[in-house]
Amino acid sequence: MKYNWIFRIGFVAATLFLVCCSAMRITKEDPRGNGIIFPRGIMVNVGQVGWMVGHSDGDEGGPWRAGIRRNFEVRDYEPIVEIGQEMGVRFMTLFILGEFDRLNILGEYPWSNPAGEDWDNSHIVGRNQLEIMDYAKNNTAHMEFGITGVLHEHWENGVRNRAEWYDVENQRPRDEKIIRKNVELIKRLMAQYGITQENGHSFPESFIAYGFYYNPGAEYSLGRVLSDNGIKYANTRFVETMHGLDHPGFLSGDFDNGVLLLDRYNHGNDWFEYAKTPQYAPEDIRSVIVESHWANWLAYDDHLQPELNERWIDYLRSIQAYHDTYLAKNTEQVYSQWLYKRHATVSEDSPGRVSIDNRSMPDDAYRYNLLGNMVLAVQLGEGEHVSRAVINGNPVASYYEAEGYGYIYLPPLERENYVLEYETGPEQMERFVNNTGTYNIYGVSDNGNTFEIEMKMYGRQTVEVHSPSPRRVTSDNDNLRIISYSFDTTNSVTHLEIEAHDIQGETGTVVLHF
């Protein structure tokens, strides 16, 4: 009898274990049921584009470059743009600018290159540089013009010392004067191609480096120098490059005197590997910035490039399709979502009623204008849409559907409590911006006779607005131009062709008048 009871207890325990395991599998596959989702934003950055020469001189004490045994041209940038267009993403693309030097000014900054004052770039100077830079300036809707540096390293009397922005080998900061001179040099290189404040272009907002002098609150840190010049978002590998210096936690991030610095992680695609997508499934992605390098986006030959593009698109779609992640449309958005995920709480009190507590958001997020949209999602059935969505009684900023989910873009949130109310059904909302592009919609105001859209546009894109046919469309910013607009009577959709002058984007209010 004793052993019979032991058997029964064991049988019940085993059954409960199997039921729990089954429940855990169900939870893993669909952890949210039909409620609101607060997903992690994910962005793939493209590091160290901009080399004119491909092969590495690392073994000779020169720059490592891209590890490709040929020179680069315009077509090597096209996959980034083409994949961005397909996915509605503006990739964080980080440029090396030293080999764009047409005036040999690197010789005035001898630590910036292996030849020092004898720097001579004349063998590279040509039309190819101009064509590449024109392509970059004309495709900022899908390829951000961010910064890695001049030649990625630092040289003393021709001897290389890693790395350009931080002495990784000795785990100590570079002299502040050198760092500020590096920024000056980058501005002068950009000016050779008309990218200046005088011409209406801002300094880049995004930055990556190998090593980072992180020292929040201090008079000097790399973040302070970068912020002084307009950089807002940065990332590096914390453990690999900053092991002798204080830094935020592994796979985490924090503010450094105006710059939001995040850790990044390599997911199995090394910097020199041709045609290599990240090897981690979406559920295993460790950092919100997924590292990639230029070689990863390039096929061995042109006839192989379309297949590689499709592999990248499939990988990015898998991120969008996974329940806990979504593909951020641009750098501001992925950094904003990281801040919200860290400092805000989201809970669905009852079906369709969501409480958002953003009262713990740090001051620096507002002081340095680092906070954009919060993105929430709802799983949709076939033929289903989000038919109503308001936050504190006001319209949400925009809406978008992809991979079976409806994505609700909220306006930038103040340090307050909010209530989001939403409904799903067969009908779409009556008036809203369908956020198919890479721009940011910060808010809309429906006044009956007008529909106002506060936005930041990158490059030239079409904005899709579900609305009546407008009599006219206006912008309050001359550099945020309405190129044209048309109305689709079948679907009651207005298509606005809008162009931003500044390669870092233009902000303004566009008004549809009915």
In sign, the C-alpha dihedral spanning 136, 142, 145, 151 is negative
pLDDT band at 309 (very low <50, low <70, confident <90, very high): very high
Q: Is the pLDDT of residue 18 over 80?
A: no
pLDDT of 287 reads 94
pLDDT band at 446 (very low <50, low <70, confident <90, very high): very high
What share of the chain in percent tops pLDDT 70?
93
What share of the chain in percent tops pLDDT 90?
86
353 three-state secondary structure: strand
pLDDT of 66 reads 86
270 compared with 456, residue with greater pLDDT? 456
Q: Is the pLDDT of residue 246 over 50?
A: yes
The b/e string for 444-467 (b: 16+ C-beta within 10 A; e otherwise) is beeeeeebbbbbbbbbebebbbbb
| β-sheet with 36-37: strand ranges across | 36-37, 374-379, 405-410, 398-402, 432-434, 460-466, 493-500, 480-488
What is the per-residue DSSP string for 31-98? TTTTSEE-PEEEEEEEEEE--SB-S--GGGTS--TTS-SSB--GGGTHHHHHHHHHHT--BEEEEE-G
pLDDT of 243 reads 67
Of 11-20, 66-75, 339-348, which gets the smallest average pLDDT? Answer: 11-20
Q: Is the pLDDT of residue 3 over 50?
A: no
Average pLDDT over residues 269-278: 92
Which sequence spans correspond to the domains of the chain?
40-327, 349-513
Output the six-digit token pair for 439.
Answer: 């721009």
Beta partners for residue 265, in sequence order: 290
Of 234-243, 342-351, 417-426, 497-506, which gets the smallest average pLDDT? Answer: 234-243
* 94 close to 147: Cβ distance less than 8 angstroms: yes
171 compared with 456, residue with greater pLDDT? 456
Q: How far apart are CA 259 and CA 254, in angstroms?
A: 8
Distances from the Cα of 412 to the Cα of 194, 337, 400, 470, angstroms? 33, 10, 17, 27
For 64-120, the pLDDT digits (tens) are 898 888 999 999 999 999 999 999 999 999 999 999 999 999 999 999 999 999 999
Average pLDDT over residues 504-509: 98
Average pLDDT over residues 1-10: 42
Question: What is the CATH architecture of 40-327?
Answer: Alpha-Beta Barrel (3.20)
For 134-181, the pLDDT digits (tens) are 999 999 999 999 999 999 999 999 999 999 999 999 999 999 999 999
* 463 close to 412: Cβ distance less than 8 angstroms: no
Q: How far apart are CA 18 and CA 330, in angstroms?
A: 43
Output the six-digit token pair for 321.
Answer: 């399709």
Mean pLDDT of the chain: 92
pTM: 0.92
pLDDT of 491 reads 95
Strands 259-263 and 233-236, how do they pair? parallel
Q: What is the torsion angle, in degrees rounded to the nearest 10, for the CA atoms of residue 243, residue 328, residue 368 and residue 150?
A: 60
pLDDT of 238 reads 83
